[in-house]
Amino acid sequence: MDLSVAFLGTGGPVPTALRGTASVLVTRGGEKLMFDCGEGTQRQMRRSLGLVQVDELYLTHFHLDHCLGLPGLLKTYDLNDREEPLQIFGPVGLHKLMGDFAPLIGRLGFHLEAEELEPGDIVPHVDYELEAFQVEHRTRALGYALLEDDRPGRFDPNEAIRLGVEPGPAFKQLQDGEEVEGKDGQVRPDQVMGEDRLGRAIAITGDTRPCQATVEAARDADLLIHDASFMAEDGERARETGHSTGVEAAEVAAEAEAKMLALVHISSRYHVGKALEEARKAFPNTVAPRDFDTVEIPFPERGEPTLVPKGAKRDTPPSTE
C-alpha cells in the first residue's frame, strides 16, 4: 500500500511567494489525512494535487498560520456538493474554535464532527493508528504519530507442502493465523510464516521546542516532520517563542533514530540552503521540502523514504532556496 506525504505549506507564519503556511497531506492507499490547514491551503491543493477530498483533518494547535485556511476549505467543499462526512481532530479548545468559525462558514451540506484529543489518545484505523503526543509550544498543542501495524511475515508454500499441507484453502487458513492438518498432525502458522514485517511510521510535531515526547513518538520513524523555525544563531529566540532550530530538530531525529527528517516552518529571514546545511551536520538525512514536494515511504524491506522534488520555484532570480 502506497504511503506518501505532500507538503502543501512549509513556511513560517508569514507566507512568501515560495512557501505557504503550515499544511501537509498524508495519503495512505485511498485515505487522505491533512495535518494543519494554514491560510491558502485550498489554493495550494489546487496548484498541486487538486481539491482532494480529505477524510480526516488534524490540527496541532490554533495559531492562525495553522488553522486559518479551515473555514475556506470547508465552505469550498460545501459549494462543491461534498456529501462525505469529515472528522476534525485537535487539542482541547477545538470545539470553541469551531464555534468561533461557525458564523464564517455558515451551514454545510455534509456532516462535520470535531473531536478533542489529549496526549496519549489514539484514533484507531484499519491496519494503523494515529496517536496524539504532547509537544512544547506557547499554547496547548499536540503532535501526531501515524503508526502502522506490523504485517505478517511471508508465507513459505514449499515448507507447508513439506509438512503435508495440501495447496488450496489450507494455505489461506495458515496465512490467516489458523492451524491446519498436516501429514504428521497439526501445522501451526509460525511453522510456515516468516518473521513479522515492520509497519511504517510518521511523526509530525507542529510548532514545538525539542522535547523527549517527540523523541519517543518518532522512535525508528520513517519520517519526522519537525519545526525548524530558527537557525542556531537565534537559539535564544527559539526558546523564547516555543520553537526549534534546525539543529535542535536534527538532534531530536538523531536521538529517535528516525530514517529521514523534514524541516518545516522555516522563517523567511533565512536562506533555506544554509539552514539545511547546518542541520545536516547533526543528522545527515535531513531535507527541507519546498511547497508541493512529496516524500514517498515504501515498506522497510523495499527501501528508504525518498524526497520527490515537485516544489514551487521562483521564475526569476534571485532565489534564496
pLDDT in tens, 277-299: 999 999 999 999 999 999 999 99
Q: What value does the mean pLDDT take over residues 211-215? A: 98
Percent of the chain scoring above 70 in pLDDT = 97
Asked if residue 260 has pLDDT above 80, the reply is yes
Cell numbers for 63, please give them.
495559531
Percent of the chain scoring above 90 in pLDDT = 86
Q: State how far Cα 314 lies from the chain centre.
A: 27
pLDDT of the residue at 321: 45
pLDDT in tens, 85-114: 999 999 999 999 999 999 999 999 999 999
pLDDT of the residue at 176: 86
Asked if residue 320 has pLDDT above 80, the reply is no
3-state secondary structure the chain: CCEEEEEEECECCCCCCCCCCCEEEEEECCEEEEECCCCCHHHHHHHHCCCCCCCEEECCCCCHHHHCCHHHHHHHHHHCCCCCCEEEEEECCHHHHHHHHHHHHCCCCCCEEEEEECCCCEEEECCEEEEEEECECCCCCEEEEEEECCECCCECHHHHHHCCCCCCHHHHHHHCCCCEEECCEEECHHHCECCCECCCEEEECCCCECCHHHHHHCCCCCEEEEECCECHHHHHHHHHHCCCEHHHHHHHHHHHCCCCEEEECECCCCCHHHHHHHHHCCCCCEECCCCCCEEECCCHHHCCCEEECCCCCCCCCCCCC
Asked if residue 60 has pLDDT above 90, the reply is yes
Q: What value does the mean pLDDT take over residues 300-309? A: 95
> For residues 242, 243, 245 and 249, what is the CA-based torsion angle, rounded to 10 degrees?
110
Q: Residue 29: left if φ>0, alpha if ψ -120 to 50, beta else—which one?
A: left
Contact indicator for 134, 149 with CB cutoff of 8 Å: no
Contact indicator for 4, 33 with CB cutoff of 8 Å: no
Residues facing 115 on adjacent strands: 89
pLDDT of the residue at 319: 37
pLDDT of the residue at 311: 66
Q: How much is the mean pLDDT over the chain?
A: 94
Asked if residue 316 has pLDDT above 70, the reply is no
Asked if residue 317 has pLDDT above 80, the reply is no
pLDDT bracket for residue 237 (50, 70, 90):
very high
Asked if residue 81 has pLDDT above 90, the reply is yes
Residues facing 187 on adjacent strands: 180
d(CA 59, CA 149): 23
Q: State how far Cα 173 lies from the chain centre.
A: 35
Cell numbers for 126, please give them.
484499519
d(CA 212, CA 306): 26
pLDDT of the residue at 312: 57
pLDDT in tens, 154-201: 888 998 899 999 899 989 998 888 999 988 899 998 898 888 889 999
Asked if residue 116 has pLDDT above 60, the reply is yes
Contact indicator for 8, 292 with CB cutoff of 8 Å: yes
pLDDT higher for 315 or 60? 60
Tell me the catalytic residues.
Answer: 65
β-pairing, 112-117 with 122-125?
unpaired
pLDDT higher for 231 or 176? 231
Residue 152, preceding peptide bond in cis (omega within 30° of 0): no
Domains defined for the chain, CATH in brackets:
3-151+197-308 (3.60.15.10), 157-191 (no CATH)
Which residue has cell 529566540? Answer: 237
